[in-house]
């Protein structure tokens, strides 16, 4: 029985526009099968994927309402690269890909055997090599800008957390990442501590002072100096 989530020629557009380039899209008929951890079952899926690799862009695999998208990639060193979007990582060789899919069924869906539908998709477009390189450069720039924006936002979020922690030895104001909870009895000498509590009522110590005092050495930054 075909999954109700599968795309058809009616639900899938004939073409899409990406960076002003028209991409023609063709989806094959749905193949309905069963996957388990048995060698025969896994080999059957491996064979199906390899048989439908040439001339295809990738595929959609439907397991219940769970969809795995996969894009085929080729480079000069290896014949096949598989990239499953759900894992956001590259998988080399089809057996590793099938292993990941099997893990989804067993670990996420908690089933030993599951029926699935698979659709192979072919995308094509008419562009020159210069146009293709221009598109790839544009994509790379956008991706770089996105990661820079994420880093900036993360930095701003850390700044907003504020330096609310105080080192009980040197009294420097610390951010959470630089603060270590101070358990006095862990240190061989107690005379270095100047009772200072952070905003949460706990005593903290910075990494620099901790590395000295834990060895029984005197921290040159200590307030009692």
pLDDT digit string (tens) for 4-22?
Answer: 555 555 566 677 777 777 7
The CATH code of the domain that includes 100 is: 3.90.70.120
Residues 113 and 169 in one domain: no
Interval 184-203 mean pLDDT? 76
pLDDT given at position 7 = 55
Residues 107 and 203 in one domain: no
pLDDT surpassing 70 at residue 135: yes
Interval 211-219 mean pLDDT? 84
pLDDT given at position 85 = 47
Q: Are 14 and 24 in contact (CB under 8 A)?
A: yes
pLDDT digit string (tens) for 108-125?
Answer: 777 777 787 888 888 778
In a domain, 39, yes or no: yes
In a domain, 147, yes or no: no
In a domain, 156, yes or no: no
Residues 176 and 108 in one domain: no
Across-strand partners of 15?
24
Q: Are 101 and 61 in contact (CB under 8 A)?
A: yes
User: Would you call 167 exposed, middle or buried from its count of C-beta atoms within 10 A (0-12, 13-18, 19+)?
Assistant: buried
Domain of 176, in residue numbers: 165-214
Is the entire prediction scored with pTM above 0.75? no
Q: How confident is the model at residue 163 (pLDDT cuts 50, 70, 90)?
A: low
Q: Are 163 and 197 in contact (CB under 8 A)?
A: no
Residues 24 and 108 in one domain: yes
Residues 121 and 169 in one domain: no
In a domain, 157, yes or no: no
Torsion of CA 70, 95, 49, 68, to 10 degrees: -30
In a domain, 142, yes or no: no
Last residue of a domain, one of 79, 106, 126: 126
Percent of the chain residues topping a pLDDT of 70: 79
pLDDT digit string (tens) for 84-97?
Answer: 545 455 566 777 77
- Segments of the chain assigned E as strands: 15-18, 21-27, 31-36, 58-63, 66-73, 81-84, 89-92, 113-124, 165-166, 173-174, 179-181, 204-206
Interval 124-147 mean pLDDT? 83
pLDDT given at position 6 = 54
Interval 149-164 mean pLDDT? 78
Number of domains making up the chain = 2
pLDDT surpassing 80 at residue 180: yes
In a domain, 64, yes or no: yes
pLDDT given at position 201 = 74
CA-based nearest residue to 70, from 79, 56, 78: 56
Per DSSP, the residues of 43-82 read: HHHHHHHHHT-TT--EEEEEETTEEEEEEEE--SS-S-EE
In a domain, 143, yes or no: no
Percent of the chain residues topping a pLDDT of 90: 0
Residues 105 and 184 in one domain: no
170 φψ region: left (φ > 0), alpha (ψ -120 to 50), beta (else): alpha
pLDDT digit string (tens) for 30-39?
Answer: 788 888 878 8
In a domain, 180, yes or no: yes
Q: Are 116 and 2 in contact (CB under 8 A)?
A: no
pLDDT surpassing 60 at residue 68: yes
């Amino acid at each position: 029985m075909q999954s109700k989530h599968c795309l058809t020629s009616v639900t899938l557009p004939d073409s899409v526009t990406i960076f002003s380039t028209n991409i023609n899209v063709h989806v094959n008929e749905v193949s309905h099968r069963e996957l388990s951890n048995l060698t025969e079952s896994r080999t059957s899926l491996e064979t199906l994927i390899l048989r439908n690799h040439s001339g295809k862009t990738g595929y959609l695999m439907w397991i219940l309402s769970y969809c795995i998208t996969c894009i085929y990639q080729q480079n000069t060193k290896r014949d096949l690269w598989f990239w499953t979007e759900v894992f956001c990582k590259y998988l080399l060789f089809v057996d590793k890909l099938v292993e990941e899919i099997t893990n989804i069924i067993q670990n996420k869906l908690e089933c030993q055997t599951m029926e699935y539908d698979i659709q192979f998709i072919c995308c094509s477009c008419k562009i020159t090599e210069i146009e293709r390189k221009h598109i790839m450069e544009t994509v790379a720039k956008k991706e770089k800008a996105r990661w820079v924006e994420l880093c900036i936002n993360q930095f701003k979020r850390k700044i907003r957390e504020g330096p609310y922690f105080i080192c009980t030895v040197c009294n420097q104001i610390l951010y959470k990442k630089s603060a270590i909870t101070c358990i006095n009895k862990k240190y061989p000498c107690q005379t270095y501590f100047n009772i200072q509590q952070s905003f949460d009522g706990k005593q903290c110590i910075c990494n620099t002072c901790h590395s000295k005092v834990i060895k029984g050495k005197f921290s040159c930054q200590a307030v009692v100096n």
